[in-house]
Chain A
Amino acid sequence: MILARVANALYWMNRYLERVEHTARLLGLQLEHLPSSPVQEVANGWRRLFSSLDARPPGADIHGGPEDADDFFFADGYTLTDYLTFETTNPTSIVFCLTAARENARQVRDAISNGIWSSLNRAYLRLRDTNLVDIWSREPVMLYRDIVETVQLFDGVCASSMRRDAGWHFMRIGRCIERAQLVGSLLEAHWANVRDMAEEDSDWAGLLRDCNAFEAYRQLHGAQIGKEKVLGFLVYDAELSYSLRFAVNQVRSSLEAIDPPVRGRLPAEPHEIVGRLDSALSRHMVNLTVGGGGWYDLADLVILCRNFHEALERTYIYYPTEAQIPS
């Protein structure tokens, strides 16, 4: 039994942390490859990163509309990095998301252990005391590795100290639904970017790295990197922790742990939506080629993730109380 407010805060804490990790990982990779990559690839990298966050670069309003492909040529790497890391008014920045994760953790300080809290709090304090001017000329990549490791440490502390109760499952749902949404948007953005490019220019390896899947891909498919194999891997692979299918599977199993489905009764709304997502992915019903004949586009999956979130809130957090009094 868990308070609705507590479940909500645990869920959001993990959504925000997933975002922190995602942005830090992608930024770290982008900065690592900045010195050696062709300009086109650098611009593609920024575009992919911003699109996956559903965000626009600072100054986009000045230089043109949302579709203006040249936004990223106007902003330099420092400005974009600063904006995505330290800009407190940018709701997609790492500092914004980490602060929000910590605020949610503070709301449920009684429901999480000291170790969980302090792993998060220390990361927050460290980031608060860092600024980009000081690290830019040295090794900014280290900052992002550090942030990714912090989130992994947080996960480790949770995994080793929490009971697998409803709180744990709400955390996992938050983590995995955010992951599905981010990866879905990332694939969609990359796909839109490279649609008209030659395959060798399309940086599929970069996309794999963004999804923490490069090593795993090579182990499975060898060094040959091909568009269809990469997309299939990132969307349908059932064993890859950053694939859409894996993330959705986790959401489904956690949801069923919180609220087991009852045979012969209509599934609750969240169960119904996650069921649709799950079957789309396990039955390979997604369009991954131009003009493909699948039932869903990647964009549809992202919308289903959003619908799932709303249904989850309606069902477990902000439900009407009139009909709820136990007899």
Chain B
Amino acid sequence: MASRDLSQARHSRDDAPAPSLFGHYELDAQFFDETFESAGQPRSHYRLLIDEMERMSQEEVTRLQERVTRSFLHEGITFTVYGDEESTERVIPIDCVPRLVLAREWEHIERGLIQRVQALNLFLADVYGKGHILGDGTIPRALVQGCPNYRPEMEGVQVPLGAYVSVCGSDIVRTADGFMVLEDNLRVPSGVSYMLACREAIRRSFPRVFRHYHVRSVDHYGQELLRVLRSLSPRQGEEPSIALLTPGVYNSAYYEHAFLAREMGVELVTGDDLLVRGTRLYMRTVQGLRPVDVLYRRLDDDFIDPHAFRPDSCLGVPGLFAVYRAGNLALANAPGTGVADDKAVYSYVPRMIRYYLDQEPILANVETFLCREPEGLAYTLAHLEDLVVKAVGESGGYGMLMGPHASREERGAFAARLRERPENYISQPVLALSRAPCLIDGRLEARHVDLRPFVLHGQETRIVPGGLCRVALRKGSLVVNSSQGGGSKDAWIIEEDAP
């Protein structure tokens, strides 16, 4: 079928020479381009993919894109946007051109992330345990314990395997200087279902090239996650009862929660399904109550237990934290991990790696200025137009200032906020994120991308080879968050000597 389509495409091109898909593709010396070395000169590993795409007519490529989007709609891979009167479901924008990552690049990222997640777990065990790193001043105690996501309730709690962070989604960006970690998501990172759904849709779209590239598989993510969750069970030697706790269908990541529960074959539960009796957690089945041993919770710390954390939460389970403290329940991730992905604490991660592992960091951090420190604040205020300023407690691209793109007034207003609560902010240079081709209005244009691999940590630390490649679909935008007009791409980890 593919060959017939291709021949038709060639045929139609003979009649009237259509503009090449890449005809408008612009390179910009400021930005590393994932696909092209120079104008018209694809990087060698991209050649096969580009040949394949150039054999297609513009209509074919557009149709392919439509098919992918439609299949997302039918499968319900959507997020909900709440308007004034009614909510609408939107498809996660997915771009059909895969991003290719060479095996050697991937292995570098992989080693770097494994190192990082191990250090972060040791850090968490330390700050909620003996606190060596705070005691000797390597990291300021006030910074850590003053962080809004520090949970004193976790002090002295025994965490199975010391795995505070079992699931981590770190954002990797690439500039001309190489790969860097932009941030770690250690609380309830999301996006892995989009990685898997993108893979399924794009593999269907480019079956031939996919095979030729020997793309490494990500399909076993559900099994790997299940293995980690089982390893955390407080009742080793017995078949653990595992559930995934979701805030419910109105949560924007509900699709992912249902998807992962199905992939793993575990129950998807809401707070209403669970209750604490005595010292154990139970779920309500049609045949009465059944105990739960491991909870993969996709609910922020604040909401998991109104007795222990926010009293007004109706999403969680009263008494859950007491069951956890008593060692009768494992939680993934553990409460309190947010202290380690705080935007200010982030700047200390390279020091954590040296401190706990006695190794040099494999992946670099982005240079970060802490506004809580006088020099950091002074530097930030003096260079506002060149910096990104981020609020430490926020995520998802909220509460930030993109210096170069902001107006004088916006910068002025932000500076006032900075002076008022400097400890709430950090700043970083604007990164020249690499770009990759995306299908925009029927032709390929360069857009900024990042990569979020998903690290799993239990008895060992593993990463399925791939990640969610996020794209800033708005022209010139550097913000890839889906709440801010971002989309996603499939990322293929391919062998060096592939065709």
Contact = CB atoms under 8 A, between A and B. Distances in A.
A325 interface: yes
Contacts, number: 79
B286 A7 contact: yes
B496 interface: no
Interface string A92-129: 00000000000100111111001001100110010000
11 contacts: A1-B286, A3-B285, A5-B270, A106-B254, A110-B261, A110-B268, A121-B74, A170-B286, A321-B275, A321-B289, A325-B277
Contact of A110 (B262, B283, B288): B262
Nearest to A323: B288
B307 to A, nearest CB: 18
A4 B76 contact: no
Given A5-B270, A110-B258, A110-B262, A325 B282 contact: yes
B378 interface: no
A214 interface: no
Interface of B is mostly: mixed
Given A3-B283, A4-B286, 16 more contacts: A1-B290, A2-B285, A4-B273, A5-B272, A6-B267, A106-B258, A110-B257, A110-B258, A114-B75, A117-B75, A121-B74, A122-B74, A321-B277, A325-B289, A326-B290, A326-B291
Interface in A107-157: 107-111, 114, 117-118, 121-122, 125
Interface of B: 73-76, 244, 249, 254-255, 257-259, 261-262, 267-270, 272-273, 275, 277-278, 282-291
A116 to B, nearest CB: 12
Contacts of A114: 75
A109 B258 contact: yes
Contacts of A6: 267
B267 A3 contact: yes
A319 B277 CA distance: 15
B262 A324 contact: no
B273 A125 contact: no
A316 interface: yes
Interface core residue of B75, B268, B272, B283 (most chain A CB under 10 Å): B268
A326 B283 CA distance: 12
B286 A316 contact: yes
- Of B261, B284, B286, most A-chain CB atoms within 10 Å: B286
A2 B291 CA distance: 13
Contacts of A3: 267, 269, 273, 283-286
Contact of A326 (B257, B267, B289): B289
B74 A125 contact: yes
Contacts of A170: 286
A103 B249 contact: yes
Given A1-B290, A121-B76, A107 B285 contact: no
Nearest to A122: B74
Given A4-B284, A118-B74, A325-B278, A109 B289 contact: no
A4 B282 CA distance: 12
Contacts of B272: 5
Contacts of B284: 3-5, 321
B289 A1 contact: no
A117 B76 contact: yes
Contacts of A122: 74
A317 interface: yes
Nearest to A169: B286
B285 A118 contact: no
A258 interface: yes
B338 to A, nearest CB: 26
A108 B174 CA distance: 39
Contacts of A280: none
B262 A317 contact: no
A114 B262 CA distance: 10
A5 B273 contact: yes
A1 B74 contact: no
A316 B275 CA distance: 16
A285 interface: no
Contacts of A259: 287
A136 to B, nearest CB: 25
A106 B278 CA distance: 32
A166 B288 CA distance: 14
A255 to B, nearest CB: 11
Contacts of A109: 76, 254-255, 258-259, 262, 268
Contacts of A258: 286
* Chain A CB within 10 Å, residue with most, of B76, B261, B269, B275: B76
A326 B285 CA distance: 12
A118 B270 contact: no
A258 B287 CA distance: 9
Nearest to B275: A321
B76 A324 contact: no
A6 B283 CA distance: 12
Interface string A232-267: 000000000000000000000000001100000000
Q: Which of B73, B75, B275, B288 has the most CB of A within 10 A?
A: B288
A25 B75 CA distance: 27
A130 B227 CA distance: 46
Contact of B76 (A106, A107, A319): A106
Interface in A288-327: 316-317, 319, 321, 324-326
Contacts of B254: 106, 109
Contacts of B73: 125
Contacts of B262: 109-110
A258 to B, nearest CB: 7
A23 B283 CA distance: 37
A4 B277 contact: no
B292 to A, nearest CB: 11
Name the residue in A5, A110, A118, A258 with the highest tally of chain B Cβ atoms < 10 Å from its Cβ. A110
Contacts of A317: 286
Nearest to B74: A118
B255 A326 contact: no
Contacts of B285: 1-4
Contacts of B278: 325
Nearest to B282: A325
A197 B373 CA distance: 93
A74 to B, nearest CB: 31
B17 to A, nearest CB: 37
A2 B287 CA distance: 8
- Of A5, A107, A108, A319, the most chain B CB neighbours within 10 A belong to A5
Contacts of B74: 118, 121-122, 125
Contacts of B258: 106, 109-110
Contacts of A108: 268
A118 B78 CA distance: 13
A45 B74 CA distance: 36
B75 A324 contact: no
Contacts of B283: 3
A108 B258 CA distance: 8
